[in-house]
């Protein structure tokens, strides 16, 4: 589906606040409420918008988050992903090109849990190398 400027404006407004009313979005981008409603329904039906969510404030997020860069045996990558995604500390797993095969986002409430998670992933069969990057502060976050 090809997105036009209006679709992108709708998505931008919802990315800012997914609870923004259709009327408010319509006023903001200068369209009729019924037009905005129809566009949103089309974006949802086509799969461009899969759902709506919340962004947690700093007080509700886990205290420690990080990114793990993982080199794997190519024949074991799928099995590794299957095992790792069962860990509640793992928030996202991305395949990657380049030196690392997987980029894993983790979040925990304490360093002991983070340490156990890193140890578990690092010792998984097929994991050749793991590098951890602990996030110190978020300077910008755009999630769409």
pTM for this structure? 0.69
Token pair listed for 81: 């992903």
Domain residues for 99?
58-134
User: What SS3 state is found at 124?
Assistant: coil
Token pair listed for 42: 């089309």
Domain harbouring 104, CATH code: 3.30.70.920
Q: Do both 41 and 62 map to the same domain?
A: no
User: Is residue 144 a part of any domain in this protein?
Assistant: no
Residue with tokens 């700093």: 58
Query: Is pLDDT of 144 > 60?
Result: no
Instruction: Give percent above pLDDT 70 in the chain.
Output: 94
Q: Do both 40 and 66 map to the same domain?
A: no
- Reported as a single tens digit per residue, the pLDDT across 63-111 is 899 999 999 999 999 999 999 999 999 999 999 999 999 999 999 989 9
User: Is residue 52 a part of any domain in this protein?
Assistant: no
């Amino acid at each position: 589906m090809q997105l036009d400027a209006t679709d992108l404006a709708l998505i931008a407004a919802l990315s800012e606040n997914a609870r923004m009313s259709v009327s408010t979005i319509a006023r903001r981008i200068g369209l009729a409420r019924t037009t905005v409603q129809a566009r949103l329904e089309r974006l949802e039906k086509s799969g461009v918008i899969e759902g709506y969510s919340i962004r947690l404030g700093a007080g509700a997020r886990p205290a420690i988050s990080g990114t793990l860069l993982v080199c794997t045996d190519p024949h074991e990558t799928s099995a590794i992903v299957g095992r790792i995604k069962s860990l509640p500390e793992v928030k996202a797993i991305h395949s990657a090109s380049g030196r690392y095969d997987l980029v894993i986002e983790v979040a925990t409430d304490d360093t002991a849990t983070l340490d156990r998670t890193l140890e578990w992933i690092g010792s998984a069969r097929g994991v050749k190398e793991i590098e951890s990057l602990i996030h110190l502060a978020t300077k910008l976050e755009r999630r769409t």
